[in-house]
Amino acid sequence: MPRIAPLFVVLLLLVSPAAQAESAHDFAFQSIEGDPLPLSDFAGKAVLLVNTASFCGFTPQYEQLQAVWEDYRARGLVVLGVPSDDFGGQEYGDNAEIKEFCDVNFGIDFPMTEKQDVKGPGAHPLYTWISGQLERNAEPRWNFHKFLIAPDGRVVEGFSTTTRPDAAPVIAAIEAVLPAD
């Protein structure tokens, strides 16, 4: 029987959404309001995907995320927040509390997903897929890890937690995938 278990794991990986995906557009979330949020809705737009948390030392990055969203959304950038409790238990337990916190404290109006796991065996399939796409910064190690997804659904680059959303390398990468002004 032990020989069957590894085969089962391989088969499970082959049929997983992450193994079948060709681009980030093959994945979907639920919005923080509970509505379907397929990433295919963002085809033709760049997406800055960020796992967020309300009680983290990096939570003030919400302010920069909102500013980047305001500066670049007309050119085709979507900032997508993914609340997660994976790092230090620093997120509210309920989506309504998360949404209220973001609205009241930061005036967030960019789209956000329902709370998700972004690492480990329960990670959302998009995060599993991304970890297979990038060599560097391929997996979040803390809250406010950022991934840039190109308009064609390719993952372009990952940025660590300590890299602010408005830092020169992030802005340069965004500018490189967006059409000229």
Per-domain boundaries in the chain: 22-177
Classify strands 36-38 and 155-159 as parallel, antiparallel or unpaired.
unpaired
Banded pLDDT at 140 (limits 50, 70, 90): very high
Class level of CATH domain 22-177: alpha beta
Is pTM, for the whole model, over 0.75?
yes
Give the span between the Cα atoms of 111 and 82, in whole angstroms.
9
Banded pLDDT at 18 (limits 50, 70, 90): low
Is there a catalytic annotation at residue 105? yes
Tell me which of 51, 95, 105, 137 is the catalytic residue. 105
CB neighbours of residue 115 within 10 Å: 21
Give the span between the Cα atoms of 71 and 108, in whole angstroms.
14
Mean pLDDT of all residues in 29-42: 97
